[in-house]
A and B are shown apart, each in its own frame.
Chain A
Amino acid sequence: MTLLPTPAKAVSPPRPRARFHVRKQALAGWGFAGPFVAVFALVFLAPIGYALYLSLFRDRLIGGTSFVGLDNYTQALTDARFWEALTRVGLFLAVQVPIMLGIALLVALAIDSGRLYGKGFFRISIFLPYAVPAVVASLMWGFIYGTRFGLVGNINDTFGVSLPDPLSPSLVLASIGNIVTWEFVGYNMLIFYSALKIVPRSLYEAAAIDGAGEWRVVTSVKLPAIRGSLVIATIFSIIGSFQLFNEPSILQKLAPNAITSDFTPNLYTYSLSFSGQQHNYAATVAIVMGVITAIIAYAVQLRGMRKG
């Protein structure tokens, strides 16, 4: 922060832009960004560097540590358990993310449109699930998904139907998707909503004068204006899907056979690292996963930002 330039007041330059030249920009830029970058380096980059280093070794209970070069990477690239897990979260991503973001966007637009009764109530209520701790979420969803004492069981009893078990192997991914949607609809809604709040109102006015209907205002003014937020919410949802961990890990206690220890890539690295003490290989899988995720996120960003 002390690096910040303080231009002299008295001088009134002929070309204002020249006053704020490249070097000062750099100083100011790094001055403001510096604190974030420094802490980020400590809590993200250093462990990743450490993980990169670890990924070149193999540590065994019997025989100790040895340098293995890129062996761990060759192993990861041909690891069927890893690829199966990756395919699973890929499917999850393709289905759950559009649903979740779609609902979030609709709710955000509805609240922003001013056409809701009690919109403040809607805003906080829909956001609330994000505030629920994982242990509670597990108790709640354990109850709802329960086919004996739970809500599903009660519906079955009351209406004489037999709903399929949400935790059976064929449905468990969808059930996880439901929980994730529940948790993050409000979160994404708030992102969209706060982006909508800074859309210049004059744009609406102009559109209204042109005779544009409400829907037209949405598609031609509001959505383009919040493109940045849409893209970033998508990117973070993609990362979130690829890193799916909390929800399957919670439900694993209720459905241990349907949710295997390699159900998602992140569960797999967890199991490798914590149950198996295979820190080196876990680090390798994590890095491969990170590279794949980053490539996809980058592609989405390019595509999302280019249009329009």
Chain B
Amino acid sequence: MRTNSTRRLLGAVAMACVMALGATACGSSDPADGGGGPEDVKSALDKGGKVTVWAWEPTLKKVAADFEKKYPKVDIELVNAGTGDKQYTALQNAIAAGSGAPDVAQIEYYALGQFAIGKSVEDLAGYGATAYDKTFTSGPWNAVKYDKSIYALPMDSGPMALFYNKKVFDKHGAKVPTTWDEYVEAARTLHKADPKIFITNDTGDAGATTSLIWQAGGRPYKTDGTDVSIDFGDAGTKTYTNTWQKLLDEDLLAPVTSWSDEWYKGLADGSIATLSIGAWMPANFTSGVASASGDWRVAPLPQWTKGDTAGAENGGSSLAVPKAAENKELAYAFIEYATTGAGASARVAQGSFPATKADLGSKTFLETAFPYFGGQQANKIFADSANNVGAGWSYLPYQVYANSVFNDTVGKAYISSTPLSKGLEDWQRASIKYGTDQGFSVNK
């Protein structure tokens, strides 16, 4: 426990610095504190060594091989240490134990705050990450940047779009919705035509809910150092709950949990007619729902106000360097390679959705035709969404926990007569309680 408390203590000290000095004096932009600057990174590359990477993103395999080819002295060991929260648990454990932490870890945007505030990941500003201020699209970049510190480099992004089963829409004469009101209409039309068809599946998903609130203009979370505020009563949230409550009340949502076997079946046989999800989804369609190839199309995400073009991010992850990493300079060199320039382009070519402006704007990328979507150039729609992601969104510095109790609270709205707004209030209360217990100043 000693190592653990030491870590927490360091976290607290660092936090005090952030609060008192705005992160300039204690922040790791001073290379002496945070390790190597760009020159050290270069010399580390010349020297070589081993970099252990914990990630589940499949396209990193090729990038690791390319990197080893380019720098023969470097050995990249790519380890799938679990997906999402399983990996975070492993990471927390390794950090607490003081050994066994990787040199690079994949961390989703929503979870990064927890590692940043605990100072368990390295501030990359001092390594040269500040140079990428203009490289990444705004959603991902804002998600890795806290004041002047940069805790990770964005690896991919998930601007949202509407995936819809064109065959089902055509068959029942439903109109592809451009607004959420039309979406509710389409839901009614389809379900009435065939009671087995649902507009989408939803059993309560924290990521999807927060993303749609984000698109609707809600900004429930605000974090300033250890001051946190949570408010699910703002106008954007209300816009979301009003519409979604209709879908719930009229039983228009299939009670199928995403990523289950049954979900894949529903996507294949047309009983789940649309998905509002991140732009990384095509790869999953191609491999998981191969039999429905040609049925599906992509459309812009429906809007809360007619004529708007608001987008939001759903998912996506970054690469960070844990404080406990053994070879931080080399680790940084690898994530720099994997997230920018040639490495990023190589990953995009394999189906990863880019977080870099250059790749997002490239002609090849935009004009890629997806045979799965009937030859549609779907990336144009995704890119539009990425460029229109609403600013000013932030997650809680303990979003991993908050998301883990989403179904305990908001989930009630899906299985009982509890209104969605009441569910969100309960979620807010549970999040406040946890934050307060953990020493944050929440809603004060």
> Does B271 lie at the interface of the complex (its beta carbon under 8 Å from any beta carbon of A)?
yes
> Does A42 lie at the interface of the complex (its beta carbon under 8 Å from any beta carbon of B)?
no
Contacts of B1 in A (CB 8 A): 50, 53-54, 57, 59, 65
Tell whether, in the assembled complex, residue A142 and residue B261 are in contact, meaning their CB atoms are under 8 Å apart: yes
What is the CA–CA distance of A150 and B8 in the complex, to the nearest angstrom?
Answer: 48
Q: List 10 A-B contacts (CB under 8 A).
A: A59-B8, A60-B438, A61-B11, A65-B5, A253-B259, A261-B407, A275-B85, A275-B401, A277-B92, A279-B4
> Does B412 lie at the interface of the complex (its beta carbon under 8 Å from any beta carbon of A)?
yes
Main secondary structure of the interface of A (DSSP, over half): loop
> Does A43 lie at the interface of the complex (its beta carbon under 8 Å from any beta carbon of B)?
no
Contacts of B256 in A (CB 8 A): 148
Q: When each residue 44-65 of chain A gets 1 if its CB lies under 8 Å from chain B and 0 otherwise, what string results?
A: 0000001001100101111111
Closest 7 CB pairs of A and B: A62-B439, A257-B411, A275-B404, A65-B5, A63-B439, A60-B439, A256-B407
> Does B299 lie at the interface of the complex (its beta carbon under 8 Å from any beta carbon of A)?
no
- CB closest residue in chain B, given A50: B1
Tally of contacts, chain A with chain B, CB under 8 A: 109
Contacts of A50 in B (CB 8 A): 1
Contacts of A62 in B (CB 8 A): 11-12, 15, 117, 226, 438-440
What is the CA–CA distance of A255 and B407 in the complex, to the nearest angstrom?
Answer: 10
> Does B398 lie at the interface of the complex (its beta carbon under 8 Å from any beta carbon of A)?
yes
What is the CA–CA distance of A148 and B265 in the complex, to the nearest angstrom?
Answer: 10
Tell whether, in the assembled complex, residue B404 and residue A276 are in contact, meaning their CB atoms are under 8 Å apart: yes
Contacts of A143 in B (CB 8 A): 261
Tell whether, in the assembled complex, residue A148 and residue B262 are in contact, meaning their CB atoms are under 8 Å apart: yes
What is the CA–CA distance of A242 and B434 in the complex, to the nearest angstrom?
Answer: 26
Tell whether, in the assembled complex, residue B117 and residue A61 are in contact, meaning their CB atoms are under 8 Å apart: yes
What is the CA–CA distance of A257 and B206 in the complex, to the nearest angstrom?
Answer: 12
Tell whether, in the assembled complex, residue B257 and residue A256 are in contact, meaning their CB atoms are under 8 Å apart: yes
Contacts of B255 in A (CB 8 A): 165
Contacts of B5 in A (CB 8 A): 59, 64-65
Q: When each residue 260-277 of chain A gets 1 if its CB lies under 8 Å from chain B and 0 otherwise, what string results?
A: 111000000001001111
Tell whether, in the assembled complex, residue B203 and residue A61 are in contact, meaning their CB atoms are under 8 Å apart: no
What is the CA–CA distance of A139 and B439 in the complex, to the nearest angstrom?
Answer: 41
A60, A168, A254: which contacts B257 (Cβ < 8 A)?
A254
Contacts of B203 in A (CB 8 A): 255-257
Tell whether, in the assembled complex, residue A142 and residue B118 are in contact, meaning their CB atoms are under 8 Å apart: no
Contacts of A20 in B (CB 8 A): none
B4, B259, B262, B401: which contacts A149 (Cβ < 8 A)?
B262
Tell whether, in the assembled complex, residue B262 and residue A61 are in contact, meaning their CB atoms are under 8 Å apart: no
> Does B400 lie at the interface of the complex (its beta carbon under 8 Å from any beta carbon of A)?
yes
A53, A63, A169: which contacts B415 (Cβ < 8 A)?
A169
Q: When each residue 1-35 of chain B gets 1 if its CB lies under 8 Å from chain A and 0 otherwise, what string results?
A: 10011001101100100000000000000000000
Q: Which of B396-426 contact A (CB under 8 A)?
A: 397-398, 400-401, 404-405, 407-408, 411-412, 414-416
Tell whether, in the assembled complex, residue A61 and residue B440 are in contact, meaning their CB atoms are under 8 Å apart: yes
Name which of A61, A148, A165 has the most chain B CB atoms within 10 A of its CB: A61
Name which of A57, A256, A257 has the most chain B CB atoms within 10 A of its CB: A257
A63, A64, A257: which contacts B407 (Cβ < 8 A)?
A257
Tell whether, in the assembled complex, residue B204 and residue A257 are in contact, meaning their CB atoms are under 8 Å apart: yes
Tell whether, in the assembled complex, residue A61 and residue B405 are in contact, meaning their CB atoms are under 8 Å apart: no
Q: Which of A117-151 contact B (CB under 8 A)?
A: 139, 142-143, 146, 148-150
Residues of A participating in the B interface, judged by any CB pair closer than 8 Å: 50, 53-54, 57, 59-65, 139, 142-143, 146, 148-150, 165, 168-169, 253-258, 260-262, 271, 274-279
Tell whether, in the assembled complex, residue A261 and residue B266 are in contact, meaning their CB atoms are under 8 Å apart: no
> Does B43 lie at the interface of the complex (its beta carbon under 8 Å from any beta carbon of A)?
no
What is the CA–CA distance of A65 and B255 in the complex, to the nearest angstrom?
Answer: 42
What is the CA–CA distance of A148 and B257 in the complex, to the nearest angstrom?
Answer: 12
> Does B89 lie at the interface of the complex (its beta carbon under 8 Å from any beta carbon of A)?
yes
> Does B437 lie at the interface of the complex (its beta carbon under 8 Å from any beta carbon of A)?
yes
A63, A254, A261: which contacts B404 (Cβ < 8 A)?
A261
Tell whether, in the assembled complex, residue B412 and residue A274 are in contact, meaning their CB atoms are under 8 Å apart: no
Distance from A273 Cβ to chain B, minimum over Cβ atoms (Å): 9
What is the CA–CA distance of A277 and B437 in the complex, to the nearest angstrom?
Answer: 12
Tell whether, in the assembled complex, residue B118 and residue A260 are in contact, meaning their CB atoms are under 8 Å apart: no
> Does B362 lie at the interface of the complex (its beta carbon under 8 Å from any beta carbon of A)?
no
Tell whether, in the assembled complex, residue B440 and residue A276 are in contact, meaning their CB atoms are under 8 Å apart: no
What is the CA–CA distance of A65 and B3 in the complex, to the nearest angstrom?
Answer: 11
> Does B260 lie at the interface of the complex (its beta carbon under 8 Å from any beta carbon of A)?
yes
Known contacts A60-B437, A148-B271, A277-B92, then 4 further A-B pairs from the complex at CB < 8 Å, ordered by chain A residue: A59-B5, A255-B203, A274-B85, A277-B401
Tell whether, in the assembled complex, residue B408 and residue A261 are in contact, meaning their CB atoms are under 8 Å apart: yes
- CB closest residue in chain B, given A280: B1
Tell whether, in the assembled complex, residue B260 and residue A61 are in contact, meaning their CB atoms are under 8 Å apart: no
What is the CA–CA distance of A260 and B5 in the complex, to the nearest angstrom?
Answer: 30
Contacts of A59 in B (CB 8 A): 1, 4-5, 8
Distance from A71 Cβ to chain B, minimum over Cβ atoms (Å): 12
Distance from B107 Cβ to chain A, minimum over Cβ atoms (Å): 15
Contacts of A274 in B (CB 8 A): 85, 89
Assuming the A-B contacts A59-B5, A262-B408, A276-B401, are A254 and B439 also in contact, with contact meaning beta carbons closer than 8 angstroms in the complex? Answer: no
Distance from B263 Cβ to chain A, minimum over Cβ atoms (Å): 10
Contacts of A63 in B (CB 8 A): 8, 12, 439
Tell whether, in the assembled complex, residue A148 and residue B414 are in contact, meaning their CB atoms are under 8 Å apart: no
Tell whether, in the assembled complex, residue B408 and residue A260 are in contact, meaning their CB atoms are under 8 Å apart: yes
Contacts of B416 in A (CB 8 A): 169
Tell whether, in the assembled complex, residue B261 and residue A168 are in contact, meaning their CB atoms are under 8 Å apart: no
Q: Which of B211-244 contact A (CB under 8 A)?
A: 226
Tell whether, in the assembled complex, residue B12 and residue A142 are in contact, meaning their CB atoms are under 8 Å apart: no
What is the CA–CA distance of A120 and B12 in the complex, to the nearest angstrom?
Answer: 64
Contacts of B404 in A (CB 8 A): 261, 271, 275-276
Tell whether, in the assembled complex, residue B401 and residue A148 are in contact, meaning their CB atoms are under 8 Å apart: no
